[in-house]
């Protein structure tokens, strides 16, 4: 099974995308499944490490927190731009414990997707990431926010320990 | 698009107007903010709340009009949500790299990325 | 009544997006550095995409959908290639 479908999550996502792009019918389902199987099989030699979700339970909580944060930070940044006041932006170094590629990639996407924070880089040797904050007041607040709110939950999803 | 019930028309109008307003605010921020790293935050308004509101409005409108669930637009929204962080992140890194190459570091000398990490 | 409200608000929203494209275009012209222009180009792409979605709402057809998807893919590839170029001076290492 593992050899037949090296990337099961990718294959399922591709089938769903195929069905949405065309329409829901048995023929399209068979065709889409074929395309997804070939695509995930072709990705096998390119990306030998499959991303595996270890725990599904923290995902809804993470999504809810993320939706709230995106909405809130959108309104905050919009209000700041409209008020015409130039905020005191700055750079924060955050220590990250995780070395897992999936955790880091998703953390980068989450941080860049919320307006108000952007990911500038990560050093694999020291494990520190560089965060640019639009309206910087308390540096430590941002450090603990990234670590406790997102990194913990992502590690819970993708790593066994913690 | 014609033939929507009144409540649906008002809902779609509100979503569309809110999304367009957020996009406009993002563009204003892009034009007015003084530093590049501050401007990097402005398009986030367009791509997150702006596109979510407009695409949600379009989805609701077409679903009610065709009397079935239309998911095409959700795919566009998902695509924007997944790709914009990648482009913003790459642009931020590129700007950091260029500033550093020209000896204009934005970060304190103790910064953890003083030696730019090798990309693979 | 509902149709009137919808067409007026879609018109207003299209105007707002047009102004957003204008502002981003001004930033692309003004610079001052290459990364500003690339960022502005990316913003223009997303705004054009949203403008197409609004045109779809106005006309009530789903034919704009494919064009929107193609613009989304193109904008991603273009911006990634440009950012990569800014970083190392070459697109493919």
CA pair distance A68, A64, nearest whole angstrom: 6
pLDDT band at B112 (very low <50, low <70, confident <90, very high): very low
Q: Which of B44, B75, B89 sits opposite A20 (nearest CB)?
A: B75
* pLDDT score, position A3: 67
Write out the two tokens for B56: 């949600």
* pLDDT score, position A87: 77
Write out the two tokens for B84: 């914009």
Listed range (A12-16, A38-42, A46-50) with the worst mean pLDDT: A46-50
pLDDT tens-digit map of C54-73: 998 888 887 888 888 888 88
Which span out of A35-49, B29-43, C40-54 was modeled with the highest average pLDDT? C40-54
* pLDDT score, position C22: 94
Q: How many CB atoms lie within 10 A of CB A48?
A: 8
* pLDDT score, position A90: 80
pLDDT band at B23 (very low <50, low <70, confident <90, very high): very high
* pLDDT score, position C91: 58
Question: Higher pLDDT residue, C63 or B87?
Answer: B87
β-sheet bridge partners, residue A91: A132
Query: Is B43 in Cβ contact with C39 (below 8 Å)?
Result: yes
- pLDDT at position B18 over 60: yes
- pLDDT at position B102 over 90: no
CA pair distance A75, A72, nearest whole angstrom: 5
First-to-final CA distance of chain C: 59
Write out the two tokens for B60: 């609701």
Chain mean position to CA C42: 7
- pLDDT at position C4 over 60: yes
pLDDT above 90 coverage of chain C, percent? 39
First-to-final CA distance of chain B: 49
* pLDDT score, position A161: 59
First-to-final CA distance of chain A: 29
pLDDT band at B114 (very low <50, low <70, confident <90, very high): very low
Q: In 3-state terms, what secondary structure has residue A120?
A: strand
Q: Is C11 on the interface with B (CB under 8 A)?
A: no
pLDDT above 90 coverage of chain B, percent? 18
Q: Which of A82, A89, A134 sits opposite B25 (nearest CB)?
A: A82
Q: Is C89 on the interface with B (CB under 8 A)?
A: no
CA pair distance A61, A157, nearest whole angstrom: 11
pLDDT tens-digit map of A100-153: 788 888 888 888 888 888 888 887 777 788 888 888 777 777 777 778 788 888
pLDDT tens-digit map of C15-59: 999 999 999 999 999 878 888 899 999 999 999 999 999 998 888
Interface of B with A (CB under 8 A): 22, 25-26, 28-29, 32-35, 37-38, 40-42, 44-45, 48-49, 71-72, 74-75, 81-82, 84-86, 88-89, 92-93, 96, 106-108, 111-113, 116-117
* pLDDT score, position B119: 45
**Average predicted confidence (pLDDT) for chain A:** 81
Query: Is C43 in Cβ contact with B79 (below 8 Å)?
Result: no
ipTM: 0.86
Chain C interface, best mutation among B27, B49, B74, B94, by max C CB count within 10 A: B27
Give the residue on B whose Cα is nearest the Cα of A68.
B49
Range of the domain at C18: 2-88
* pLDDT score, position B106: 64
pLDDT band at B118 (very low <50, low <70, confident <90, very high): very low
Q: How many domains does chain C have?
A: 1
Listed range (A4-8, B9-13, C7-11, C24-28) with the worst mean pLDDT: A4-8
CA pair distance A24, A22, nearest whole angstrom: 7
Q: Comparing C-alpha atoms, which of A57, A58, A11, A9 is closest to residue A35?
A: A11
Which span out of A3-17, A139-153, B75-89, C76-90 was modeled with the highest average pLDDT? B75-89
CA pair distance A18, A23, nearest whole angstrom: 8
Q: Comparing C-alpha atoms, which of C64, B73, B68 is closest to residue A21?
A: B73
Question: Edge-to-edge strand order for the sheet containing A117-123?
Answer: A90-95, A128-133, A117-123
CA pair distance B66, C37, nearest whole angstrom: 41
pLDDT band at C11 (very low <50, low <70, confident <90, very high): very high
CA pair distance A17, B38, nearest whole angstrom: 35
C93 lies in some domain: no
Which position has the token pair 């390119």?
A46
* pLDDT score, position A158: 80
CATH T-level topology, domain A58-158: Alpha-Beta Plaits (3.30.70)
pLDDT band at C93 (very low <50, low <70, confident <90, very high): low
């Amino acid at each position: 099974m593992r050899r037949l479908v090296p990337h099961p999550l990718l294959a399922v996502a591709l089938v769903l995308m195929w069905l949405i792009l065309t329409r829901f019918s048995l023929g399209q389902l068979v065709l889409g499944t074929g395309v997804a199987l070939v695509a995930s099989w072709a990705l096998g030699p390119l990306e030998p490490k499959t991303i595996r979700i270890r725990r599904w339970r923290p995902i809804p909580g993470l999504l809810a927190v993320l939706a709230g944060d995106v909405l809130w930070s959108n309104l905050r940044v919009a209000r700041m731009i409209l008020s015409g006041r130039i905020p005191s932006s700055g750079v924060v170094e955050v220590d990250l414990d995780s070395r897992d590629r999936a955790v880091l990639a998703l953390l980068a996407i989450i941080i860049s997707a919320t307006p108000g924070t952007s990911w500038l880089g990560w050093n694999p040797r020291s494990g520190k990431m560089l965060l640019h904050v639009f309206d910087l007041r308390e540096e430590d607040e941002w450090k603990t926010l990234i670590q406790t709110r997102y990194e913990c939950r992502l590690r819970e999803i993708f790593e066994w320990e913690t | 698009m014609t033939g929507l019930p009144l409540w649906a028309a008002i809902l779609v109008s509100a979503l569309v107007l809110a999304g367009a307003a957020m996009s406009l605010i993002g563009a204003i921020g892009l034009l007015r903010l003084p530093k590049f790293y501050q401007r990097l935050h402005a398009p986030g308004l367009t791509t997150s709340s702006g596109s979510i509101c407009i695409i949600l409005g379009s989805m609701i409108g077409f679903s009610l009009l065709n009397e079935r669930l239309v998911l095409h637009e959700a795919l566009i929204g998902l695509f924007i949500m997944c790709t914009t962080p990648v482009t913003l992140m790459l642009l931020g890194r590129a700007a950091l790299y260029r500033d550093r190459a020209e000896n204009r570091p934005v970060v304190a000398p103790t910064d953890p990325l003083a030696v730019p990490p090798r990309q693979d | 009544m509902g149709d009137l409200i919808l067409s007026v608000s879609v018109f207003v929203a299209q105007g707002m997006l047009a102004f957003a494209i204008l502002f981003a275009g001004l930033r692309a012209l003004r610079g001052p550095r290459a990364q500003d222009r690339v960022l502005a180009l990316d913003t223009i792409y997303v705004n054009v995409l949203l403008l197409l979605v609004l045109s779809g709402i106005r006309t009530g057809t789903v034919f704009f959908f494919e064009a929107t998807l193609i613009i989304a893919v193109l904008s991603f590839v273009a911006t990634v290639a440009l950012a990569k170029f800014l970083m190392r001076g070459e697109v493919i290492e």
